[in-house]
Amino acid sequence: MTKQPRRDGVLALLGGGEWTDGYRALDEELLEASGGTTVVVLPTAAAFEHAGRVVERAATYFESLGASVVPLMAIHRTEAEDAVRAAVVKEASFVYLSDGSPPHLRSVLKDSALFAALVHAWHRGAVVAASGAGATVVCDPMVDPRGGAYTVGLGLVADLAIFPYHGSAADHLRARSLDLLPKAATLVGVDEHTALVRTGPGAWQVRGSGVATVYRHGAQAAAHTAPDTVDLGER
């Protein structure tokens, strides 16, 4: 059997505030890039915040864009190992991870059948969008919101850390994340209603109304706004 070539899809890392008019133009483009009108929504990170209501909000929003939502209620670890749920994600053309609790999302998805399915879908060209907690967790290292330090993320993108809600974050958390940034990693602070979008290896574009601030060791912080292109290397 011939192995299919990897052709990563679009990856959108949102600073928070998903499914609002601030992302409308971006989400229309993500739908077009997916080639479909169906979005698989994982409200896993919102397990403690009425995940059902999160899905309802997503459904109402995407309906206004002419699309429909398939809710994937993988709230607990056992559900993330469910073969039926994993198959839905594996065949999806557009997968969206909601905001919520980063530690919970990581504990549910890490080394799971569901996350393996997500990686497979992305590698074959599916669009993946992750907001807030989702954006933090899919990268590695992962910013721990409980103190601004780092822990191991899921590694969909390596050597990149995302700090969501950057413009409104507490100063001491931002400072701690900068102080503890691993030397091999790049930290990008992404404001709410702002996204960092990967359209190809090393090629990222800022979208939305806020700022994406890039931090690297030995370099001054660089603030970018839409539609700036940011070179984050082969990550």
pLDDT number for residue 219: 87
Q: What are the Cα distances from residue 90, in Å, to 21, 99, 126, 224, 230? A: 29, 21, 9, 34, 29
Q: What confidence tens digit (pLDDT) does each residue in 127-182 have?
A: 999 999 999 999 999 998 888 889 999 999 999 999 999 988 888 888 899 899 99
pLDDT number for residue 7: 80
Dihedral (CA of 33, 235, 46, 192) sign: negative
Q: For the chain, what percentages of helix, strand and coil (3-state, to nearest 5) are there?
A: 35, 30, 40
Distance CA 69, CA 67 (A): 7
pLDDT number for residue 5: 63
Ramachandran sector of residue 193 (left: φ over 0; alpha: ψ -120 to 50; beta: rest): left
Mean pLDDT rounded to a whole number for the chain: 93
Q: What confidence tens digit (pLDDT) does each residue in 41-62 have?
A: 999 999 998 899 999 999 999 9
The first and second tokens of residue 144, run together, are 């721990």
Place of tokens 């070539």: 5
Q: What confidence tens digit (pLDDT) does each residue in 184-220 have?
A: 999 999 999 999 999 777 789 999 999 999 999 888 9
Q: Which residues are paired to 155 by β-bridges?
A: none
Distance CA 62, CA 95 (A): 13
pLDDT of residue 115 exceeding 90, the answer is yes
The DSSP letter of residue 55 is: H
| Residue 102: cis peptide before it, omega within 30 degrees of 0 | no
CB 194 within 8 Å of CB 210 = yes
* Average pLDDT score over residue span 85-111: 97
Nearest to 204 by CA among 139, 116, 147, 153: 139
**pTM as predicted:** 0.94
pLDDT number for residue 235: 47
- Delineate the domains of the chain, giving CATH numbers in brackets: 11-231 (3.40.50.880)
Distance CA 23, CA 194 (A): 8
